[in-house]
Structure 1
């Protein structure tokens, strides 16, 4: 039997992306997000208008989409409730966000020079996509609260072990992306880590703790 609950959140499950972009002063910003989908060599990104990444993309028109594996969940969670905006927006402050000027250091991740764009890649991410902005569309009604960014993938960097030998195709069995479902972290179909974001958004979940073998991965 189906019911009509009027769901408050529609994050049914999408890959986590670490977006690296450049701040106005030329420093690097790193932002985790999970509203992304790909078609051909383009990607659509959904970002709130109050975020630093939105401002950076509109100004600089380039970024890197770094896709973490599920084993990187600790690093992602460390910056889940951080923002690159020196003045934290009120609604984010209420959810526990704090200003962090160096998210690479806060996450324990390494900058890696890109080849076609200025923002750095995340060295630890198995997949890195250098992108340029194609178009930006206001999103939400009656007043837009977000922006849908269309970006073109200019260059793809992939760990060699994830490719099917002799092809330009990834091995779907070897690739275990970090997935966010309803603000919770999943990999391989299992919850892999407690989520600061779920706490900040006051999600009512009661998930079993991640297995000990995955907590320190």
Structure 2
């Protein structure tokens, strides 16, 4: 049936984007508007996000991919922002300013090889990237930026690699998936989502657990 959908998060992997703030401190932002093709990736970020400002300025980042087992860690970052000035819209949803995202999540900063942005030691896959293009996104007035990034180095936990190859074993890799603001792993809803609460999603999943 025809339907005017409010949210179109049909299901994409969660990414923790590591970037550098203007003062050199690490920033970490959870997002799920990402897709890959070849050695490139497209990222969609709202213009009010600290990560957007960092990517436009520094032109690099690390895409840290958490497994579904890290869902509670990722959820600690929901409704947080690295921008000191929280926009009214975000404040209404329950966002708060957090200067040290890694500390809040209990994650460990790890240096990258080829970029200045931080890797997350606990994430089993880490993609070092450089921004190649940035496009205003949204109509009639742009409200987001679509970043095209080039993957310059890949780090993968050894147990996820098919022995003797340079391929990831899809049976061993269980990514954390965001689907309509809810967390999924192995096609199962695995954790109550603060983001879903912030967006007032009418789901009756794990929030009553």
Q: TM-score range by the shorter chain?
A: over 0.9
C-alpha separation in 1, matches of 2:4 and 2:98: 35
C-alpha separation in 2, matches of 1:58 and 1:177: 27
> What is the CA-CA distance between 1:6 and the residue it aligns to?
1.1
Partner SS for 1:185: strand
The residue that corresponds to 2:88 in the other structure is 90
The residue that corresponds to 2:24 in the other structure is 26
The residue that corresponds to 1:5 in the other structure is 3
Contact 1:70-1:187 at 8 Å conserved across structures: yes
Alignment of 1:99-118 (within 5 A): 99-118=97-116
Report the RMSD for the aligned CA atoms in angstroms. 1.1
The residue that corresponds to 1:71 in the other structure is 69
Moved over 2 A (4+): 208-211
TM-score normalised to structure 2 length:
0.98
After superposition, give the CA deviation of every residue in 1:127-179 in whole Å (9 maximum; x if it has no partner).
00000000000100000000000000000000000001111000000000000
State whether structure 2 residue 148 is matched by structure 1 residue 165. Answer: no
The residue that corresponds to 1:192 in the other structure is 190
> What is the CA-CA distance between 1:5 and the residue it aligns to?
1.7
> What is the CA-CA distance between 1:41 and the residue it aligns to?
0.3
The residue that corresponds to 1:214 in the other structure is none
C-alpha separation in 2, matches of 1:111 and 1:135: 26
Contact 2:62-2:128 at 8 Å conserved across structures: yes
Q: Pick from 100, 113, 135 the counterpart of residue 133 of structure 2.
A: 135
The residue that corresponds to 1:80 in the other structure is 78
C-alpha separation in 1, matches of 2:109 and 2:202: 36
After superposition, give the CA deviation of every residue in 1:88-116 in whole Å (9 maximum; x if it has no partner).
11100000000000000000000011110
> What is the CA-CA distance between 1:120 and the residue it aligns to?
1.2
C-alpha separation in 1, matches of 2:48 and 2:119: 23
The residue that corresponds to 1:119 in the other structure is 117
Alignment of 1:44-55 (within 5 A): 44-55=42-53
Residue correspondences, number: 209
TM-score normalised to structure 1 length:
0.95
> What is the CA-CA distance between 1:208 and the residue it aligns to?
3.9
> What is the CA-CA distance between 1:209 and the residue it aligns to?
6.1
